A and B are shown apart, each in its own frame.
Chain A
Amino acid sequence: MSFALPPFTTVLGPEDVARALTRIAHEVVERSKGASDVVLLGIPTRGVPLAQRLAERLAAIDPAFDPVAALGELDVTMYRDDLHRNPTRAVGVTRLPAVGIDGKVVVLVDDVLFSGRTIRAALDAISDLGRPRAVRLACLVDRGHRELPIRPDFVGKNLPTSTDERVQVQLAEIDGADSVVISGRAAVGEETR
Chain B
Amino acid sequence: MKHLLSAQDLTRDEAILLLDTAAQMAATQSREIKKLPTLRGRTVVNLFFEDSTRTRISFETAAKRLSADVINFSAKGSSVSKGESLKDTALTLHAMGADAVVVRHWASGAPHQLAHAGWLDAAVLNAGDGTHQHPTQALLDAFTIRRHLAGGTGDLAGLRVAIVGDVLHSRVARSNVHLLRTLGADVTLVSPPTLLPVGVETWPCATSYDLDATLADWKPDAVMMLRVQRERMSGGAGAFFPSALEYSRRYGLDHRRLAVLPDHTIVMHPGPMNRGLEISAQAADSDRSVIVEQVANGVAVRMAALYLLLAGGSSAEGTSI
Contact of B307 among A78, A84, A128 (CB under 8 A): A78
A94 touches B28 (CB 8 A): yes
Chain A positions 82-124 with a Cβ under 8 Å from a chain B Cβ: 83-94, 124
A87 touches B315 (CB 8 A): yes
| Chain A nearest CB, measured from B137 CB (Å) | 22
Interface residue? A8 (CB, 8 A): no
| Chain B nearest CB, measured from A96 CB (Å) | 9
Contacts of A79 in B (CB 8 A): 36-38
Q: Decide yes or no: A86 and B313 within 8 Å by CB, A78-B36, A79-B38, A124-B37 being known contacts.
A: yes
Contacts of B311 in A (CB 8 A): 78, 83-84, 88-89
Contacts of A89 in B (CB 8 A): 311-312
Contacts of B319 in A (CB 8 A): 87-88
Interface residue? A75 (CB, 8 A): yes
B37 touches A129 (CB 8 A): no
Interface residue? B78 (CB, 8 A): no
B313 touches A93 (CB 8 A): no
| Chain A nearest CB, measured from B238 CB (Å) | 50
Interface residue? B17 (CB, 8 A): yes
Contact of A94 among B24, B33, B313, B315 (CB under 8 A): B24
**Within the assembled complex, what's the spacing in Å between the Cα atoms of A84 and B316?**
9
Interface residue? B50 (CB, 8 A): no
Contacts of B316 in A (CB 8 A): 86-88
Contact of A86 among B31, B33, B315 (CB under 8 A): B315
A91 touches B24 (CB 8 A): yes
**Within the assembled complex, what's the spacing in Å between the Cα atoms of A84 and B25?**
19
Contacts of B17 in A (CB 8 A): 90
Contacts of A75 in B (CB 8 A): 24
Contact of A128 among B31, B308, B313, B321 (CB under 8 A): B31
Q: Decide yes or no: A91 and B21 within 8 Å by CB, A78-B36, A124-B37 being known contacts.
A: yes
A128 touches B33 (CB 8 A): yes
Q: Decide yes or no: A91 and B37 within 8 Å by CB, A128-B31, A129-B31 being known contacts.
A: no
Chain B positions 14-52 with a Cβ under 8 Å from a chain A Cβ: 17, 20-21, 24-25, 27-28, 31, 33, 35-38
A78 touches B27 (CB 8 A): no
B35, B308, B313 — which one has the most chain A CB atoms within 10 A of its CB? B313
**Within the assembled complex, what's the spacing in Å between the Cα atoms of A92 and B36?**
14
| Chain B nearest CB, measured from A44 CB (Å) | 11
Interface size class of A (residues with CB under 8 A): 10 to 19
**Within the assembled complex, what's the spacing in Å between the Cα atoms of A68 and B82?**
64
**Within the assembled complex, what's the spacing in Å between the Cα atoms of A103 and B41?**
33
Contacts of B24 in A (CB 8 A): 75, 91-94
**Within the assembled complex, what's the spacing in Å between the Cα atoms of A124 and B21?**
20
Contact digits for A119-138, partner B, Cβ 8 Å, 1 yes 0 no: 00000100011000000000
Contacts of A93 in B (CB 8 A): 24, 27
B312 touches A87 (CB 8 A): yes
B38 touches A84 (CB 8 A): no
Contacts of B28 in A (CB 8 A): 78, 94
**Within the assembled complex, what's the spacing in Å between the Cα atoms of A14 and B24?**
34
Contacts of A88 in B (CB 8 A): 307-308, 311-312, 316, 319, 321
Contacts of A129 in B (CB 8 A): 31, 33
Contacts of A85 in B (CB 8 A): 313, 315
Q: B residues touching A (Cβ–Cβ < 8 Å)?
A: 17, 20-21, 24-25, 27-28, 31, 33, 35-38, 66, 307-308, 311-313, 315-316, 319, 321
Q: A residues touching B (Cβ–Cβ < 8 Å)?
A: 75, 78-79, 83-94, 124, 128-129
Contact sample, A vs B, 26 pairs, CB 8 Å cutoff: A78-B36, A78-B37, A78-B66, A78-B311, A79-B36, A79-B37, A83-B313, A84-B311, A85-B313, A85-B315, A86-B312, A86-B313, A87-B313, A88-B308, A88-B312, A88-B321, A89-B312, A90-B21, A91-B21, A91-B24, A91-B25, A91-B307, A92-B24, A93-B27, A94-B28, A129-B31
- 10 nearest interchain CB pairs? A88-B312, A87-B316, A78-B38, A91-B24, A128-B33, A84-B313, A83-B311, A87-B319, A78-B36, A85-B313
